[in-house]
Amino acid sequence: MRNAIIAAVIATAGFSSAALAEGKVIGVSWASFQEERWKIDEAAMVAAIEAAGNTYISADAESSSAKQLTDIEALIAQGADALIINAWDKDAIGPAIEAAAAEGIPVVGYDRLIEDARTFYLTFDNVGVGRIIAESVTAVKPDGNFAIIKGDPGDPNAAFLLEGMMSVIGDEVAAGTITIVGEAFSDGWKPENAQKNMEQILTANGNAVDAVLAENDGMAGGVVAALAAQGLTIPVGGQDGDLAALNRVARGTQTVSVWKDARALGKAAGEIASALADGTALDAIAGATKFSGGANGVEMNAILLDPTPITQENLQVVIDAGHITKEAACEGAAEGVAACQ
C-alpha cells in the first residue's frame, strides 16, 4: 500500500528522471520552467551530478506553491539524498524545509533565497546585478524620468535587485536629477505583465519616460514591446543573458543584459548537492561564506557568483563562451557593433 501511495504521488508530481543508478540521488524542485535560462541551468546541473556518480530526479512546480510542496514530498519519497530547491514562494516553502530536515536531507536553495540556516544559499550576487543594470543604464542616460519594472513580489530577488539599483541612483533621485515616474511589480516575472505595467506607465506620463530598469530580460522584452508600440527607443536594462535579449543589445533596443552564466551556477549546484549528500557539512563546502542579507537577517552558508554585464562593446564575450552563436546575436544588429563585423 505504501509503495502504491508513493508511486501515485510521484506520478502526480510529474517527474523526469534517468534510470536510478548507483550512488546518491539528487532531487531538484523547479519553481517554473517558463524562463529560458532554467533549461541551461538544468543541463549543467545534470552533468555535474552524473559526473559525481549520482542520479538526477526533478519536478516542475509550474508556478504553484502547493504543487511544489507535493513535488518535494515525492522527491523525498523517491529517496533523494539531497535537495536543490528553486523556490516559487519564499514563505510557502517552509513546510518542505521542515520535511527535509526531519529526514536529515540537506537542501540547497537555488538562485532564490530560502531564509533558513539549514539550507545552503547558492546564487549570483543579485544586489550586484541590480547595481550593474543601473550603472549601465545611467552611463548612457544619467538623468531624466526613469521607470523600474520589478519582478514577482514573492521573490526575494526582486528586493535584492531593487536594492542594487537604488544604491546607484538613490542620490540622484533624492537630488531630483532622476525622477522615478513609475515602479511596478510584475507577477510571476512574466513578460506580458511587465508589458502591461510599462504600457500603464507610458500612458500615465504621456510617454515621457527616458530610461527603464527592468529586473530581468524576459520583462525587458515586454518593456521593449511596449516602447516599440509607441515608436520609442530608450535605454533599457535587464539581466539573465537571454538569447533574445542579447540580440536586442546588438540591435540597440536593450542597453545591457547582465549575464549570469547559468552553466556555472548549475554546475556549482550539482557539485554542492553531491558533496552534501556525501555528508559534507554546510560550512565545509569549498568557497562558502556567510550571508545574512535576507529580510530576517538569518546567517547562512552561501556562495554568490559574480555576474558579467553584456553591452554592444563586449558582446563578443558571450559569443566566445558559446552561450550564443554570432548569427543569433547579430541578426539585425546596429551598425558599428564590433562583434557583428
Whether 96 shows a pLDDT value over 80: the answer reads yes
| Of 108 and 6, the one with more pLDDT | 108
For 116-125, write each residue's pLDDT tens digit.
Answer: 999 999 999 9
In words, the CATH class of domain 2-124+261-305 is alpha beta
Tell me the average pLDDT across 274-301. Answer: 97
The predicted structure's pLDDT at residue 22: 67
Give the domain 126-260+309-340 fold: Rossmann fold (3.40.50)
For 185-234, write each residue's pLDDT tens digit.
Answer: 999 999 999 999 999 999 999 999 999 999 999 999 999 999 999 999 99
Nearest CA to 161 out of 192, 186, 195, 197 is that of: 186
Q: Which residue has cell 543541463?
A: 43
For 232-284, write each residue's pLDDT tens digit.
Answer: 999 999 999 999 999 999 999 999 999 999 999 999 999 999 999 999 999 99
Amino acid letter, residue 270: G
Domain boundaries, the chain: 2-124+261-305, 126-260+309-340
Nearest CA to 118 out of 102, 126, 107, 110 is that of: 107
Measure the CA angle with vertex 155, ends 173 and 193; round to 5°. Answer: 75
**Rg of the chain in Å (alpha carbons):** 21
- CB under 8 A, 24+ apart: contacts of 320-324: 321/261, 323/241, 323/246, 323/259, 323/261, 324/243, 324/246
| Of 16 and 133, the one with more pLDDT | 133
Tell me the average pLDDT across 284-294. Answer: 96
When pLDDT is cut at 50, 70 and 90, the band that residue 19 belongs to is very low
- The answer to whether domain 2-124+261-305 and domain 126-260+309-340 are alike in fold is yes
From 30-44, 79-93, 99-113, 187-201, the region with the lowest mean pLDDT: 30-44
Whether 21 shows a pLDDT value over 70: the answer reads no
Do residues 165 and 148 lie in contact, with contact meaning Cβ atoms separated by under 8 Å? yes
Whether 46 shows a pLDDT value over 60: the answer reads yes
When pLDDT is cut at 50, 70 and 90, the band that residue 37 belongs to is confident
Chain centroid to CA 108? 15
The predicted structure's pLDDT at residue 33: 82
The predicted structure's pLDDT at residue 339: 98
The predicted structure's pLDDT at residue 13: 45
Q: What are the cell numbers at 124?
A: 549570483
Tell me the average pLDDT across 147-162. Answer: 95
